[in-house]
Amino acid sequence: MVKYTNMEGEKEDIKALEIKAKKEISAAGDLKELDQIFRAYLGKKGHITRVLRSLASMGEAERKIRGKAANDARDALQAAFEAKKQQQTLQIEEAEKKDHVDVTAPGTKLPKGHLHPLTHIQRKCQEIFNGMGFAVAEGPEIETEWYNFDALNIPKDHPARDLWDTFWLKPKAADYLLRTHTSPVQARYMEKNNPPLRIIAPGRIFRYEATDASHEINFYQLEGLMIGKDVSVANFKAIIEEFYSQFFKKETTVRLRPSYFPFTEPSFEIDMRQGKGNWLEMMGAGMVHPNVLKNVGYIPREWKGFAFGMGLDRLAMMKYKIDDIRLLYSGDLKFLQQF
């Protein structure tokens, strides 16, 4: 064992010093502590330095042995200090990186909801009709038999009722149902407002039907009604052509085919096309039936007008190229997040 004589005249084990120093180095918590340990061993008055200084006063044989041991210990400790210092510096850098805030970086985005495609379509329609002087009216989804049928000139036991498969609410005696179209809003609005008038009534409706890619038990309609002294079919055609042209951002023509609805006379199916494209069936319409005007207290000889009812789902499906109406009610985020 290589010993040297310290100030107190005791012999110390250089190897033991080295081992002790290494333990302290590896336990050093920060650079400041490491520096103190360095000075305690390798500083001017450090333990190892003292050993090295004491070599001068030793005999040659002893100097050789202890000199080598002391130099080895110094080299080993220097390497250990260097390694520890590097490790600590690296740790500091990493901690700084973690704490670092780049104030110029864009913030993390919070997931944000958005409007349903049908809402977009409804709002777009409202905007276009508002521009042509139509106000927005609303009616209840739970409707009475009177407004859904009778007021619209569809008497009980009349086969025309079967055109609208109906969800009746229990008890049947109460005559409540889920409205099968938005047309009852016509009657409700006319009862409360004097002509002339122009309204649209968008809303959800319900049909007791089997579902498939083009049928749902509930969907959305947009009802239109314009009443005046001399409102004509020509007015209707112009307004609807303007509506489709604005909606599809493309010049659109419509054509009227004879049809039947109990609350309009004459009644039409409306087809539309762009350019020389195929005619697409879009909605039902007609001149408001005198019996409907009578039912709401208007004088049929004084007032006339047109009404129409279009499917908003149909418009959404055309605009966004959706091939299954059920997707609109699926609540499937993979579908909805595309809009």
Q: Is 81 in the site for ligand PHE (CB under 6 A)?
A: no
- Measured from the CB atom, the residue of 195 and 284 that comes closer to ligand PHE is 284
Q: Of the ranges 73-81, 93-101, 166-174, 307-315, which one interacts with ligand PHE (CB under 6 A)? A: 307-315
CB of 180 to ligand PHE, least distance (A): 7
CB of 321 to ligand PHE, least distance (A): 24
**According to CB under 6 A, which residues from 206 to 265 bind ligand PHE?**
261, 264
CB of 331 to ligand PHE, least distance (A): 25
Q: Which tokens go with 280?
A: 């697409």
Q: Which residues of 256-265 are buried (b: 16+ CB within 10 A; e: fewer)?
A: beeeebbbbe
* Angstrom distances, CA of residue 308 to CA of 1, 40, 74, 103, 224: 110, 97, 99, 56, 5
Q: Which tokens go with 261?
A: 């609805």
Q: Is 184 in the site for ligand PHE (CB under 6 A)?
A: no
Q: Is 307 in the site for ligand PHE (CB under 6 A)?
A: yes
Q: What is the DSSP code string of 232-293?
A: -HHHHHHHHHHHHHHHHTS-EEEEEEEEEETTEEEEEEEEEEETT---EEEEEEEEEPHHHH
Q: Is 309 in the site for ligand PHE (CB under 6 A)?
A: yes
- Measured from the CB atom, the residue of 117 and 305 that comes closer to ligand PHE is 305
CB of 165 to ligand PHE, least distance (A): 11
Q: Which residue has the tokens 């107190």?
A: 8
**According to CB under 6 A, which residues from 113 to 152 bind ligand PHE?**
none
Q: Is 286 in the site for ligand PHE (CB under 6 A)?
A: yes
Contact 218, 203 (CB under 8 A): no
**CA-CA distance, 100 to 169, in Å (whole number)?**
63
Counted residue by residue, the chain has a size of 339
Q: Is 315 in the site for ligand PHE (CB under 6 A)?
A: no
Q: Of the ranges 63-71, 106-114, 238-246, 304-312, which one interacts with ligand PHE (CB under 6 A)? A: 304-312
Q: Of the ranges 83-91, 109-117, 166-174, 303-311, which one interacts with ligand PHE (CB under 6 A)? A: 303-311
Q: What percent of the residues of the chain are helix, what percent strand, and what percent coil, each to the nearest 5?
A: 45, 20, 30
Q: Of the ranges 21-29, 68-76, 90-98, 306-314, which one interacts with ligand PHE (CB under 6 A)? A: 306-314
Q: Of the ranges 11-19, 230-238, 305-313, 319-327, which one interacts with ligand PHE (CB under 6 A)? A: 305-313
The DSSP bridge pattern shows strands 252-261 and 218-228 to be unpaired
Sequence letter at residue 147 = Y
Q: Is 66 in the site for ligand PHE (CB under 6 A)?
A: no
Q: Is 181 in the site for ligand PHE (CB under 6 A)?
A: yes
**CA-CA distance, 217 to 180, in Å (whole number)?**
10
Using CB under 6 A, which of 129, 239, 308, 316 touches ligand PHE?
308
Q: Is 305 in the site for ligand PHE (CB under 6 A)?
A: no
234 C-beta neighbours (distance < 10 Å), count: 9
The DSSP bridge pattern shows strands 197-206 and 135-136 to be parallel
Residues that bind ligand PHE in the complex, under the rule CB under 6 A: 181, 183, 261, 264, 284-286, 307-309
